[in-house]
Structure 1
Amino acid sequence: MPTIPIDKRDEAYLSLDHLWLKFRAARLLQQEHFKPQLLYAHGLLVVKQGEGHMSLDLGLHRLSPDAVRFVAPGQTIGFSEEQGSKLEAYLFTFDLHWDEDLPQNRRMFPLQGEVAIKSDGTLHQLCESLCSCSRSEQALERYRGQMHFQELMSWIFHHTRQGGNQDSRAAMDRTRSYVESHYSESITIEQLARMAEISPKYYVSLFKKNIRQNSHRIFDRSPGQYGEAAYAAGRRTAKGCRIPDRVQ
């Protein structure tokens, strides 16, 4: 699903009047379910506990309880845990349909990719209720799951966090966490930018801004990770990864 520009979000919300959602299935993913899998429907991922990363086709994205993630049909997903963190996540699959008389250029689903949320206990209660209905042997209980899914989607719509500064910090935090966990690997700017879901040029700009304002949040000065020289220069995030002065 392509990203909805900020100036188009109000229009995308208006399109909800013409949207039909059909809940298909619910799964609680644990370590034995983390191998890559192909999605044949739209997917919604909600972290139940722990932190980790999700591979999405060729990209890698951070998972935490502070955000949910929408995945498009035909994408391959896989998961890995943070060291010392037991990751569990709900995966809900659903179909998305539009009224036939709605023009193609107005068919914009507002929630796409990672969506930052203001989480509370209600979110997990809705997820558990939906999983319970999905597992039920009673047809009426499974049908009731459609109502819980609509409630879940409505909750997410009403609890999204928006704001440029928060989005920028989230983009840097996603890559910082990965670099800290994989400091011995060679990582390119393009890979980090793809992980942060921004352009390489904008990633470099954010990186330099964060270095100036909060360098202690980006680097750990302990030997074996970045080293004193790399920390002082502020240009090296991991072995084999340098922040250039300019990105073409």
Structure 2
Amino acid sequence: MDDLVQNMKNNEYKPLEGMCFKLRDIEYIKNKTQEWSLRLQFMESHLILVAASGQGWLNIDGRFNELRQGSAYLCAPGQLVEASAHSFDERGFYHLRFDIIRDEPSVKANDQVERQSSSFPVKGEVVVLSPVSVNELCETIAQCWQHEDYLKRFRSQILFQEMLHTILQDALLVQESDSEAALDFTKVYIEQHYQQELTIEQLAKVAGMSSRHFMRLFKKRFGFSAIDYLAIYRIEQAQQLMRMNGHYRLRDIARHVGYHDDIYFRRKFKQVTGIPPAAFMKNSRQKIAAYHFPSIGQLIALQVTPCAAPAAHPWTEYYRRKYETDSVLPLSTDYEAKLRELRLLHPDFIIGIDSLASPEEQAELQKIAPAYFVSWVGNDWRTHLRLLAQFLNKTAAAEIWLEHYERKARFVREQIEHTVHSDRLLILRITGEDYNVLGSHSLGTVFYDDLNIVAAYGVDLMKPDQQVMPVELNRFKANRLLVIVDQDAQSQSSWHTLMNSEPWRKLNAVRDGRVDFLPSYLWVEYTAFTHDLMLDEALKLWRDCT
């Protein structure tokens, strides 16, 4: 890699000069019998997991990662994170939390995008090139952290800086040597420099490739060209600013995201979203309440952030954090309390599901605001989306979203076909004491209908699920399994019982090592937005696997 590319990549670490790092806590687990878990939560500080040993998984914003020994994992404040690990040896497992304190003037309050991009320069998995060095640092940090001597505890902070330096250095070296990491790095580079004029030639230099080679590999990896991704990302940032109660003029937003031609910006915005920017800004001022869980996933696909949503749903808090606003009202589970909250909110529209609300309940909600209850039973998720879009006058936005979804599904099919081949897939969900095989009118539709994966023998594709006993699993003759285990104690107990049973060990997919897992929350919803996330998950599970 030439000096120009090296300088470009070093510039990504330049904001470190304005940051101070303070270790808040470190947890060291090394007992073989001990299990460690991190409950589902939004991070309030930065998090590092160092998997010196053990097995487990990490879920970040709905993306499932299998923990790999020799890697470090970094999560940022505001991300929705859940994790579990076990089977540690003497090398242990480390869980660290730290804060970033900036010693430079704070970014202007109205520049949300810059504030987001100025966080720690590395997120997700980092393959540690010197695991022994990092492990020894972690062990010493843990020892000093617990020491009664103030100087020892002070030394733990110094060693923590050394550990961060090692991880950042390893991340940079991997970016320089691995083509896939180089493409991922360039994608992040686009996200951090989208306000500037970016050309294929410049991006190819960042990736350390020729322009032709870069264009081909970028599209192969992400399913769209680098210039298309730049446009999509710019429009997404423009949408975030437009949602901020009309505080910004349209031309100022266009300039902020890198467009100096207003007409071109309007044309590109409509091409990406399906509606003109002025209409989007007007619609963003509407207050639309999601009365039931599935309504959230349909509204998000229509580029609507609900002004109110069920409090128990993870995305309610996620959007409060993402947009740094308290405008998303968490609705109570109590019926009367929920009605009172909606009356005080004065929403423009209320969206629900017809089969989840009685006629009396629907009538009460109609008194508060115009309410629409999607006809759920007998319609597929695409029809659900189109019906809702028709009511909200967002049909064009729905069709653009569906067009993008179909294109993405084709891309994922191409990427995973050499892995799944003609494998027969069985999707098993464990809920309490029940074992359910999922069919098409569920998240299974993504795999069976959109990705054209062959269903195992006996899967009823006309039903969302069918209950089975563990001894019946072998009759499906599946040679690939996808397992979803709910998070409650009874479901986890049922899973451990199944996993240790003779019928489970005799399954072809188990013997061949073709068992994959999905987290239970969100994925089980039958909505447009969660199905789009499922395409990402399928790509991560099965691309470039043998």
TM-score norm. by structure 1 comes to 0.62
Q: Please, which moves more after superposition, 22-31 or 39-48?
A: 22-31
Correspondences of 1:17-28 after superposition (within 5 Å): 17-28=17-28
Correspondence 1:69 to 2:278: no
| 2:52 partner SS | strand
Q: CA 1:48/1:117 → structure 2, altered by over 3 Å: closer, same or farther?
A: closer
| 1:141 partner SS | helix
Q: What residue in structure 2 maps to residue 244 of structure 1?
A: 451
> In the aligned structure 1, how far is the partner of 2:412 from the partner of 2:52?
29
Unaligned runs of 5+ in 1: 1-7, 169-198, 212-217, 219-230
Give 1:151 shift.
0.4
Q: CA 1:166/1:10 → structure 2, altered by over 3 Å: closer, same or farther?
A: closer
| 2:12 partner SS | helix
Q: What residue in structure 1 maps to residue 298 of structure 2?
A: none
> In the aligned structure 2, how far is the partner of 1:35 from the partner of 1:14?
32
Judging by fraction of residues, say which structure has more strand. 1
How large is the Cα RMSD of the aligned pairs?
3.4
Q: What residue in structure 2 maps to residue 50 of structure 1?
A: 54
Correspondence 1:79 to 2:84: yes
Q: CA 1:59/1:97 → structure 2, altered by over 3 Å: closer, same or farther?
A: same
Q: CA 1:204/1:140 → structure 2, altered by over 3 Å: closer, same or farther?
A: farther
Q: What residue in structure 2 maps to residue 101 of structure 1?
A: 105
1:106-152 C-alpha deviation (Å, 9 max, x unpaired): 62421112222323311111010111111112111111111100000
Correspondence 1:11 to 2:220: no
Q: CA 1:16/1:203 → structure 2, altered by over 3 Å: closer, same or farther?
A: farther
Give 1:232 shift.
5.0
Using the aligned pairs only, state the percent identity: 24
Find the structure with the greater CA-based Rg: 2
> In the aligned structure 2, how far is the partner of 1:90 from the partner of 1:40?
18
> In the aligned structure 2, how far is the partner of 1:232 from the partner of 1:245?
10
Relative contact order, CA 8 A, sep 6+: which one is greater? 1
Judging by fraction of residues, say which structure has more helix. 2
Paired residues of 2:72 and 2:127 also in contact (CA < 8 A):
yes
Give 1:36 shift.
1.3
> In the aligned structure 1, how far is the partner of 2:40 from the partner of 2:149?
28
Correspondence 1:206 to 2:410: no
Correspondences of 1:1-248 after superposition (within 5 Å): 10-29=10-29, 31-36=34-39, 38=41, 39-56=43-60, 58-74=62-78, 75-81=80-86, 85-86=87-88, 88-101=92-105, 103=107, 105=114, 107-160=118-171, 161-162=174-175, 163-165=178-180, 201=409, 203-208=412-417, 211=418, 218=419, 232-233=421-422, 238-239=426-427, 241-242=447-448, 244=451
> In the aligned structure 2, how far is the partner of 1:63 from the partner of 1:78?
9
Q: CA 1:165/1:116 → structure 2, altered by over 3 Å: closer, same or farther?
A: same
| 1:34 partner SS | strand
Q: Please, which moves more after superposition, 113-122 or 153-162?
A: 113-122
> In the aligned structure 2, how far is the partner of 1:232 from the partner of 1:28?
42
| 1:233 partner SS | coil
Q: What residue in structure 1 maps to residue 371 of structure 2?
A: none
> In the aligned structure 2, how far is the partner of 1:91 from the partner of 1:120?
15
> In the aligned structure 1, how far is the partner of 2:52 from the partner of 2:46?
19
> In the aligned structure 2, how far is the partner of 1:134 from the partner of 1:205?
50
Matched pairs, number: 187
Runs ≥4 residues deviating over 6 A: none
Give 1:86 shift.
3.9
Paired residues of 1:12 and 1:108 also in contact (CA < 8 A):
no
| 1:114 partner SS | strand
Q: CA 1:155/1:203 → structure 2, altered by over 3 Å: closer, same or farther?
A: farther
| 2:13 partner SS | helix
Paired residues of 2:45 and 2:77 also in contact (CA < 8 A):
yes
1:76-121 C-alpha deviation (Å, 9 max, x unpaired): 423044xxx5475201110012233364626242111222232331
Paired residues of 2:73 and 2:124 also in contact (CA < 8 A):
yes
AA of the residue aligned to 1:154: H
Paired residues of 1:18 and 1:102 also in contact (CA < 8 A):
no
Give 1:166 shift.
6.1
Q: CA 1:98/1:121 → structure 2, altered by over 3 Å: closer, same or farther?
A: same
Q: Please, which moves more after superposition, 31-40 or 142-151?
A: 31-40
Paired residues of 1:65 and 1:119 also in contact (CA < 8 A):
no
Paired residues of 1:71 and 1:113 also in contact (CA < 8 A):
yes
Paired residues of 1:47 and 1:64 also in contact (CA < 8 A):
yes
> In the aligned structure 2, how far is the partner of 1:134 from the partner of 1:238?
48
| 1:96 partner SS | strand
Unaligned runs of 5+ in 2: 1-7, 184-404, 428-443, 454-531, 536-546
| 1:48 partner SS | coil
